[in-house]
Amino acid sequence: MEKRDIIVIGTSAGGLSVMTRLFAGMSTGTTATVFVVMHISSGATSLLPRLLERAGWLPAFHPAEGDLIRPGHIHVAPPDHHLLVREDRVLIRRGPRENRTRPAIDPLFRSAAVAFGTRVTGIVLTGMLDDGTSGLRAIQRCGGLTVVQDPDEAEWPGMPANAIARNRIDHVVGLDAMPELLARLIAEPAPERLPVPADIVIEARIAEKEFTTMADDTKAVGSPTTLTCPECGGGLSKIADGPILRFRCQIGHAFSPDTMVETQTEAVETALWVALRTHEDRVEMFRHLAEHARKRGHERTAVGWDERGAEARSNAGLLRRVLSNAALKEGLEAKG
């Protein structure tokens, strides 16, 4: 009889200490097959398997493309690669980034939901924004269970809070209570598998592709918009995923609501800084032109350049105030 022995975990900021505590609290007599995605820099050398193994629960490793899944092990996503599963094997792919990250949590969760259905328990721990929210919904739609760290105790509550706000989570628990909960869930018989929704299958397969266009797949799960992809500039389609509205381009880049808002905010700020630099350059240019005109006795021309310089200086001041107010607002939001 199959059990709920497939555990998929997604975390970001603050994730190492949280997972170390979680695994240290697990009994060595409780065995599961575990897959972990933690957001890390693409250029980093990952020591995560070694650090997680020190917690004393299960051996951990970075799997390679095509490796057989190892029951009783922790499979850790390597830097700059999505960790995916299909049947009895692991897929390590440099497919399109999702929520501006690779590895991303949602692709792992979807692939596990397709491969293992009711055997899966998805866990979202501390982290910013909302990666993992859509993946938990996929797990739930395929009959799996969802567990989220209590946001009130999370170092970075964004990911847990968004998962709770946009899903019907089965268990919201503090970290100290999670090992006992997982031990109980792992021992439970898995219900009969449910049919996998076609849209989840399609999106799971998108993450597996690396250099192939996903235009047909994206059209199959979404509808076109006039928005453009912040990653590649291509057209974005919107995907209505229950209460969640997500976006995906024909290359396969995908964005959750919070990630899309943050990306556009950064784009606006970048444009404002470019505009400020351009206006400051214009102030300097008009000053040189006015000085040159005066030296040649062309006072009327110099006055014209002075007026244009004053206009550029005024515009630069306005942009500085906008950027200053945006920075102040961001600081206040960061403080809670």
Out of 12, 111, 134, 256, which one is annotated catalytic?
12
Residue 280 CA, chain-centre distance (Å), reads 36
**Distance from C-alpha of 263 to C-alpha of 45, rounded to nearest angstrom:** 26
Out of 39, 73, 81, 279, which one is annotated catalytic?
39
For residue 315, count CB atoms less than 10 angstroms from its CB and return exposed for 0-12, middle for 13-18, buried for 19 or more.
middle
Assess whether 73 carries a catalytic annotation: no
**Distance from C-alpha of 221 to C-alpha of 186, rounded to nearest angstrom:** 33
Q: Furthest-apart CA pair in the chain: how many Å?
A: 96
- State the DSSP H helix or E strand holding residue 172, giving kind and residue range, or none if neither: strand 171-173
The dihedral sign for the CA sequence 156, 92, 107, 228: positive
* Cβ contact 143:191 at 8 Å: yes
Out of 5, 130, 131, 199, which one is annotated catalytic?
131
3-class SS at 305? helix
- Alpha-helical regions (H) of 118-249: 133-141, 158-166, 178-187, 198-208, 215-221
Assess whether 131 carries a catalytic annotation: yes
| 60, β-bridge pairs | 74
* Cβ contact 145:4 at 8 Å: yes
CA angle 72, 76, 80 (to 5 degrees): 160
Structure tokens at 305: 């350049």
260, HSE (Cβ side, Cα atoms, 13 Å)? 17
Assess whether 39 carries a catalytic annotation: yes
Phi then psi for 31, rounded to 5 degrees?
A: -115, 135
**Distance from C-alpha of 17 to C-alpha of 153, rounded to nearest angstrom:** 13
DSSP classification of residue 57:
S
Active site residues: 12, 39, 131
